[in-house]
Chains A and B, each alone.
Chain A
Amino acid sequence: MLSKTLHISSSPHINKGESTDVIMRNVVYALLPVVLFSIYAFGINALLVITTAVIGSLITEHALCRWSNQESTISDWSAVITGLLLGLTLPPIFPLWMTFLGAVLAISLGKFVFGGLGYNAFNPALVGRAILQAAFPVAITTWHPSFMEDRFISISKSVLAFPFAEPIVDGISGATPLSAFKFDHITTDSTDLALGLISGSIGETCSWIILLGGIYLIYRKMMNWRIPVTILATVFFLSGILFLFDNQLYPSPVFMLFSGGLMLGAVFMATDMVGSPITPLGIIIYGVFIGVLVVVIRIWGGLPEGVMYAILLGNALTPQIDKIIRPKVYGTKKITT
């Protein structure tokens, strides 16, 4: 008895038991209602786009790991999140080949070149989308109305477009509430906005389902609540001041909150832990910065929507924020907070 070899380990010998793959998996769970609603709203086209984005991400991640002689990291679920988020930010009748290309670019240029999970400076899905927006400006702004009657039986020709062929725009195009306001000054009914009965990217139309996913993650302590709260509060107050100043020229703060990709971006993309600051104060600065940029781009910029660029710029600022804003070390007089 008692003669066998003992395990030795460095203290601490116990762990709280949380795991990165579990956190990632729960983000996927939180996104599922958003995915289901978007398929309900946009039908089979949305299903195809989202599936393609996820498969494209997983294939790219697996292939790149193999190519670089590393163990495949698809089991950590982060590539699934990238695929889902990319799919959800695309228009419902976005060509599948472009979607696939976007997923390849998101994983390779948004994540792998930086060193993989944990080292990606920017949200990979948004990197992929930004490149798609630059490469295919028409296709990525070709919107489609939601809740079309034939949405579960017909596949858009645009979706199945052959690679590099001229995209075929079929069906009725539906302006998003933001572009309608920006270019034609038409305000969308706020009930429609809140319920998601509007046009837009696949996953951004139903704000309350997105919020529900966010609340789940905050409840599970897998998301920093400060990020969505500061972004949304900044957008609300800043646009509120402008609205009070001139309620004809500027959209209402409620419209600003529930339109476009703000909710999806604030809840699921700006909260990417890797690209956001690590201290509470840093996070508040980051959130305010993104919120201000969203309002500035939407109201004074050339584009109707600015959430994507605002978050990417926020990601770019994060290392600087973390460098300047550090926790005040116990027993030091230095004022840094």
Chain B
Amino acid sequence: MLNLTANTFKHGVHPPENKEETNGLPIRQFPFAPLIILPMQQHIGAPSQIIVREGQEVARGQLLAKANGYMSVPMHSPVSGIVRKIGNVPVISGQMAEGIYLEPFPYSGQEVIEGNPVPLAASAEEILQGIQDAGIVGLGGAAFPTHVKLKIPEGKICEYLIINGIECEPYLTTDHRVMLEQADDIFMGIRYVLKVTGAREVIIGIEANKQDAADHLSARIPKDLPVKVQVVPVKYPQGAEKMLITSLLGKEVPSGGLPIDVNAVVVNVATTAEIGRLLPHGQGIQERVVTITGPAIRKKGNYLIPIGTPLRYVLGQVGASDNISEVYMGGPMMGVSAASLDISIVKGTSGIVVFGEMDIKKTDKIYPCIKCGACVDACPIFLNPSKLGILAKFEAYETMADEYHLMDCFECGSCSFVCPSNIPLVQYFRLSKGIVRKRKAALQK
């Protein structure tokens, strides 16, 4: 039975939303850049395997690289053009990784070639294969291969399919616009995913600051689909899978477990729309919706941008001011700082938030932890970040993991956000988790 009284998870924070500047702006098509840069690792798992040659002419939508195993997805050409170079391309981490430089044909019609359609009547296996073939990954930011996520393990039953339209990150409005503009694609996607998961019930979770999207979708639910829209109070990080399941179902996903352990599967709403749009045509992902915003951007908005468009080109088109200082790929809570403008838009890029020099408050002094407990009251998974922070300083990584549940931390940033002493708690935890993983792996060898 559903616990409908809860309606939200416990703890969490309320960062300023800053969505009002872009949430009313319709999605607009972005022009093609003169050069497209496609890293092969745009998802969690093995990088895609390149199957084209330098100098080869490719059509928009043509397969450039195939999936390298189950935990991988293929890559399609976002433009009709010519493969200029295959080699190392800059990526967000600041390093170089394998990729393709594509030069679009300037006067091409840029029509997308059709592949083999995957009809709704296809089997669950065929649909999963179709999702992988379309190169679909979680578009909320995690970029986890969707076909892996939707595969229900042996012995597990999926009862609830949760469509994640929460978009709790400040500034971002891509899912909001997708819900308002792509309702048909979303419901088509739900049909495919229902078939794959066998879920009995579909819940579209939307935060109260997107009531218009909730009303829009509610009015368009097809009669034959067991879908309901549930509006939940605004709170960060409600878009995290575990938090959303607690908000909607009143259940807790076991520590170290997956949503399917409580008979649920969570899919981002834009990912669902992409499934519904691409599968009937057998096409692959070539572009995605990205919110470009922040104080240093003149033409803020929600843009449909070809994958691989260089960040420098994007910022030039939207009128970034000359004194830009910080660029976040994703939202300000969990997004990653771009170290250079030479990187490009990837499948997981949900937003670009840009701050100028004047917009950044001077780096605040870091004080010692005064044990005020603000982080303890903020942590959505009930960790003790204060204690973990102190243990990290003493490099007591094993104690952190074994006694204080370090590995349950999903780095939402709520603790650092509220800390009056400005202690970079999440940074400590990220490093500590890496060290713990490395040591565990070393022990297994």
Contact = CB atoms under 8 A, between A and B. Distances in A.
B364 A15 contact: yes
Given A8-B339, A21-B367, A332 B326 contact: no
Given A2-B320, A118-B370, A273-B370, A12 B422 contact: no
Contacts of B380: 330
Interface stretch (B45-53, B102-110, B149-157, B405-413): B405-413
B324 A6 contact: yes
B255 A331 contact: yes
Interface in A253-282: 273-274, 276, 278-279
Given A7-B325, A13-B326, A332-B255, A76 B333 contact: no
B51 to A, nearest CB: 34
B265 interface: no
Given A20-B367, A273-B371, A330-B408, A13 B332 contact: yes
B248 to A, nearest CB: 15
A194 interface: no
A209 B353 CA distance: 48
A11 B336 contact: yes
Q: Is the interface of B mostly helix, strand, loop or mixed?
A: loop
Given A2-B341, A12-B416, A327 B326 contact: no
A10 B424 contact: yes
A20 B375 CA distance: 13
A328 B255 CA distance: 11
A22 interface: yes
Interface stretch (B117-125, B182-190, B210-218, B383-391): B383-391
B367 A117 contact: yes
B242 interface: yes
Contacts of B333: 11-14
Nearest to A326: B384
A12 B426 contact: yes
B254 A331 contact: yes
Contacts of A327: 376, 379, 382-384
Contacts of B162: none
Nearest to B246: A330
Contacts of A274: 370-371
A293 B314 CA distance: 66
Nearest to A279: B376
Contacts, number: 161
Contacts of B323: 4
A9 interface: yes
B337 A19 contact: no
B405 A7 contact: no
B327 A20 contact: no
Contacts of A322: 387
A129 B369 CA distance: 25
Interface residues of B, number: 70
A224 interface: yes
B312 interface: yes
Interface string A1-35: 11010111111111111111111000000000000
Nearest to A18: B420
Interface residues of A, number: 41
Nearest to A75: B365
Given A10-B424, A322-B387, A23 B372 contact: yes
A76 B364 CA distance: 13
Given A20-B420, A329-B383, A329-B405, A13 B368 contact: no
A119 interface: yes
A6 B13 CA distance: 28
B386 A278 contact: yes
Given A2-B324, A274-B371, A16 B15 contact: yes
A16 B13 contact: yes
Interface string A104-122: 0000000000001111000
Nearest to A78: B370
A6 B430 contact: no
Contact of A118 (B337, B368, B382, B424): B368
Contact of B413 (A1, A11, A273, A329): A11
Nearest to B353: A13
B324 A11 contact: no
B422 A19 contact: yes
Contact of A10 (B316, B365, B408, B427): B427
B92 to A, nearest CB: 10
Contact of B382 (A7, A10, A18, A330): A330
A273 B427 contact: no
Nearest to B312: A2
A17 B373 CA distance: 16
Contacts of B201: none
A11 B426 contact: yes
Give 4 closest A-B pairs by Cβ, nearest first.
Answer: A12-B413, A118-B368, A330-B381, A8-B337
Given A6-B337, A20-B368, A273-B370, 5 more contacts: A13-B328, A117-B368, A279-B376, A330-B246, A330-B408
Interface of A: 1-2, 4, 6-23, 76, 116-119, 224, 273-274, 276, 278-279, 322, 326-333
6 contacts: A6-B340, A11-B334, A15-B416, A15-B417, A20-B368, A331-B252
